[in-house]
A and B are shown apart, each in its own frame.
Chain A
Amino acid sequence: MKTFFRNNSLVFGLITVLIAVFTFGGIFSRYVAAEQNDRIVAAAANQAEAEAARIRNETYLPMVPGGTRVDVYANSPVSATYALYGNRGDFTPTLEASYQVYTGDIAVAVIYVIQSYGKFENLKLAFAISLADDTVLSVLVLSNQETPNYFAALDASFYAQFAGKPLADAALAVDAVAGSTYSSKGFEIGLLYAREQYAADFGFVIPGAGFTLVSLSYNFDPMTFTDRPYVAVIEFGVESTIANVYLYSDFAYAGLVGGIGIAPDDQIQAAIPLVAAASGLVSAGVRFISYDAGTRTLVMTTRGYNSLTPIQVTFVLNAAFDGFSDYTISSHETYDDADNVDYGEPPYSGAAVPAVEAALIVDYQTDGVITIDTVAGASGYTVPAMKAMLQLLDQFLSAMNGGQ
């Protein structure tokens, strides 16, 4: 063994030197590589932040005149729910991001990026609000999947209505564009939510409506229900004045019932639509169209999948007002209204339109209650719309026969 090592001492010596060089070099190499890796990660993070800042500035600075920098603004999102048009229930918008815009070192505006309501998902809007006077500066559409030609109807004049709109306006209503009612509603919900968030972040006090909504129900008076579908009881003023008022289909004030009582002032009248719509007490999607007392023919509409053309049903009520003897349906519940064969959704496997509408009407006609829970392929819009219509019909019949 000793001889072996003596004869090969040079080899072992060289291998030892090799290991020593490798170990020393390896440790040094690992050290500098680890340091460099940390620097690369930090540099990448800095570059990513710089790029994000560039994109932020490029996207949001044009929303705020005079703005020079956009920074991320940390806050806690508030939660708020808003009633939708028609029979579509409620919607809860979400806060995607918040930014503050600076002019020099002075914060001049806040921007809220909000995932709002649309006919389809992903209507993402940014609202810029001035910190100086609590007014909306501008709105920006970041993404949407709305029907292109309808969304295009939201022209410059639509967007112009946001600039300068004071958050102190209790109603904060957005003038909808015909054909783009869902998208318009998305803007309104987004704006209301932005105000909620702004109030939480900056201590802004959302103005009260100036009245209390005591009740809100459908108008069952055939003489007036066509153009004034709702009646409400409101309480206002220091003397707690009570007034019965008519409301139009968009919940706008339409006058005192019977012309009796004290009318609320303009400010309260302007606030009524927001409060009434948010109450959820009635569905805005179902309406009486006409009633012929001679023939006891009642025409009603309800909004289902087709947002432009609601389902219309003509009922011939029986003499005892405890049901109806006949009905006719006019329905266009397919997406494009061009091929009105079925409801267009893969789960649906029944007969052509208006099979679902008819099935629910017959279901109600049988014993005065709706036993059908839902129909696959028509569960989202058509079934809820028909249920709302039949429930309103039930209330109308009850009103006509003295509550029986």
Chain B
Amino acid sequence: MARFANGKAPYLRKADDKAYGTAIIMRDFLIGLLPLILFAWYKNGLQVYLDGNIAFLEMFYPLVFIIVGGLLSTIFEGLFYVITDKQVRTLKALGTKLQTSFAAIPGILLAMILPLYTPIWVLVFGCLFATIIGKMLFGGFGYNIFNPALIGYIAIAFTLTGVINAAGGALNASEILIDGIAGATPLGTLSAASTLNYDALVTPYGSLWNFFLGTIPGALAETSALACLIAYAWFVFRKVIKWYVPLVFVGTVFVLSWGIGLAAGEPGLWFPTYSILSGGLMFGAVFMATEPVTTPRNPLGKIVFALFLGAFTVLFRFVGSLPEGVATAIVFMNIFTMPIDNWTAIIRSDSPIQKKTWLRIAVLAILFLAIAAYGVLKSGSDYATMIVTSPLVRGLF
């Protein structure tokens, strides 16, 4: 007899429980964001002010930017409800609706993953995309198939990156004074590098310890792996997320990056460590890949989802032209949430496992291995061309 896909019986409805409702989950989620928001303010505001590189008023800009993001997405969602839903035409009804749909979350998350000097009109554009296209057009909270914040992020990344760079980009006022950084984030440096070299990739930013702490150039609030780990511990403790999803995602990127290093003749563990501490991987793994609405529901599905996320992140980051592959990978994998849920549910419930199920497992495994192998060999050969010596194999790459 087949088991239920989403866990073992018996099931208790806890959503209405005051200690375990959606509101509690979202409250815990916002608490989890706090270390990152505070670190973003410390790194890009307080510390820079204490260094004497910005004025007092500028010190608060990181916080204002995040708050404005939250306000904008709330307003857009409110407007959408008022215009499209006759039931929501009073302030009280609108307030109730916005409270239960957690309207501010996409804007807050979007602001956190954008560069500090993103113009406000770009943030408006991103919040509009995130809230209206990414969330409300699919039916609102609970019905969206893509992560709304990432939809806004990708809309900006594909169209307005030049505008952001022209307005000041990601480096804060202290970071622009460091000669070795030369205006680039770690992944920006990596995308321009032809070899994997510690001195070229890590030394300009100090050491890997700085990567862990987050005192390196990057998006407003996603640079600190430490803050992400604190949030991760909080979420696990509060059972907001499944502990293994970020672990599998980050672990996959670590292993595949190590493989790239080995293929390129750089066996040191510094490179996979650098890889997982760079960009928005930690942030994406903890806050985006675990998002309950847009990711698979059953445990095996979550693992498969995270595995493919890791493979696609490596593929987009190292083989593709995008310096940051996490957002694209997550949005791309959001498309496959339902098929993964279905397939993995069958695999989980199919006991004893039938021949057809083995086929599904094999297809998933082959797909994963093919993507991973291609990513490793291709990017490995980009950094050290000697690994692909056969003309036939070289032709494939």
A22 at the interface (CB under 8 A from B): yes
B369 at the interface (CB under 8 A from A): no
Contacts of B82 in A (CB 8 A): 10-11, 14
Could you tell me the distance between the alpha carbons of A266 and B124 in the complex, rounded to whole angstroms? 87
* B28 → chain A closest CB, angstroms: 27
Contacts of B61 in A (CB 8 A): 28-29, 32
B179 and A50 form a contact (CB under 8 A): yes
B120 at the interface (CB under 8 A from A): yes
Could you tell me the distance between the alpha carbons of A25 and B71 in the complex, rounded to whole angstroms? 11
Interface size of A in residues (CB-CB distance below 8 Å): 26
A36 and B168 form a contact (CB under 8 A): yes
A47 at the interface (CB under 8 A from B): yes
A75 at the interface (CB under 8 A from B): no
B117 and A33 form a contact (CB under 8 A): yes
Interface-side segment among B88-96, B225-233, B239-247, B346-354: B88-96
Contacts of A17 in B (CB 8 A): 71, 75
B119 and A14 form a contact (CB under 8 A): no
DSSP majority for the A interface? Answer: helix
DSSP majority for the B interface? Answer: helix
Contacts of B26 in A (CB 8 A): none
Task: Mark interface residues in B111-149 (1 if CB within 8 Å of A CB, else 0).
Answer: 000000111110110000000000000000000000000
Picked from B68, B123, B179, the residue with its CB within 8 Å of the CB of A47 is B179
Interface size of B in residues (CB-CB distance below 8 Å): 34
Contacts of B184 in A (CB 8 A): none
Picked from B65, B75, B90, B117, the residue with its CB within 8 Å of the CB of A36 is B117
Contacts of B173 in A (CB 8 A): 35-36, 39
Picked from A18, A29, A33, A43, the residue with its CB within 8 Å of the CB of B176 is A43
Beyond A21-B75, A33-B168, A36-B173, whether A11 also contacts B83 by CB under 8 A is yes
Contacts of A36 in B (CB 8 A): 117, 168, 173, 176
Closest to A27 in B: B120
B176 and A14 form a contact (CB under 8 A): no
B370 at the interface (CB under 8 A from A): no
Picked from B64, B168, B179, the residue with its CB within 8 Å of the CB of A37 is B168
Could you tell me the distance between the alpha carbons of A75 and B310 in the complex, rounded to whole angstroms? 63
Picked from B75, B78, B119, the residue with its CB within 8 Å of the CB of A33 is B119
Contacts of B58 in A (CB 8 A): 31-32, 35
B53 at the interface (CB under 8 A from A): yes
A25 and B168 form a contact (CB under 8 A): no
B50 at the interface (CB under 8 A from A): no
Could you tell me the distance between the alpha carbons of A28 and B83 in the complex, rounded to whole angstroms? 30
Could you tell me the distance between the alpha carbons of A312 and B274 in the complex, rounded to whole angstroms? 76
Could you tell me the distance between the alpha carbons of A47 and B53 in the complex, rounded to whole angstroms? 16
Picked from B53, B57, B89, B124, the residue with its CB within 8 Å of the CB of A22 is B124
Could you tell me the distance between the alpha carbons of A39 and B116 in the complex, rounded to whole angstroms? 15
B167 at the interface (CB under 8 A from A): yes
A35 and B55 form a contact (CB under 8 A): yes
A18 and B168 form a contact (CB under 8 A): no
Beyond A37-B168, A43-B177, whether A15 also contacts B79 by CB under 8 A is yes
Picked from A7, A10, A21, A26, the residue with its CB within 8 Å of the CB of B91 is A10
Closest to A16 in B: B75
Interface set, chain B 48-81, CB cutoff 8 A to A: 53-55, 57-58, 61, 64-65, 68, 71-72, 75-76, 78-79
A26 and B120 form a contact (CB under 8 A): yes
Could you list 11 examples of A-B contacts with CB < 8 Å?
A21-B75, A25-B120, A26-B121, A29-B119, A31-B57, A33-B167, A36-B117, A36-B173, A39-B53, A39-B173, A47-B179
5 more A-B residue pairs beyond the given contacts A11-B83, A36-B173, A37-B168, with a C-beta to C-beta distance below 8 A: A10-B90, A22-B120, A26-B119, A33-B117, A43-B177
**In the A-B complex, the 5 residue pairs with the closest CB atoms:** A36-B168, A25-B120, A29-B120, A25-B68, A26-B120
Interface, chain A (partner B; CB < 8 A) = 7, 10-11, 14-15, 17-18, 21-22, 24-26, 28-33, 35-37, 39-40, 43, 47, 50
Interface, chain B (partner A; CB < 8 A) = 53-55, 57-58, 61, 64-65, 68, 71-72, 75-76, 78-79, 82-83, 89-91, 94, 117-121, 123-124, 167-168, 173, 176-177, 179
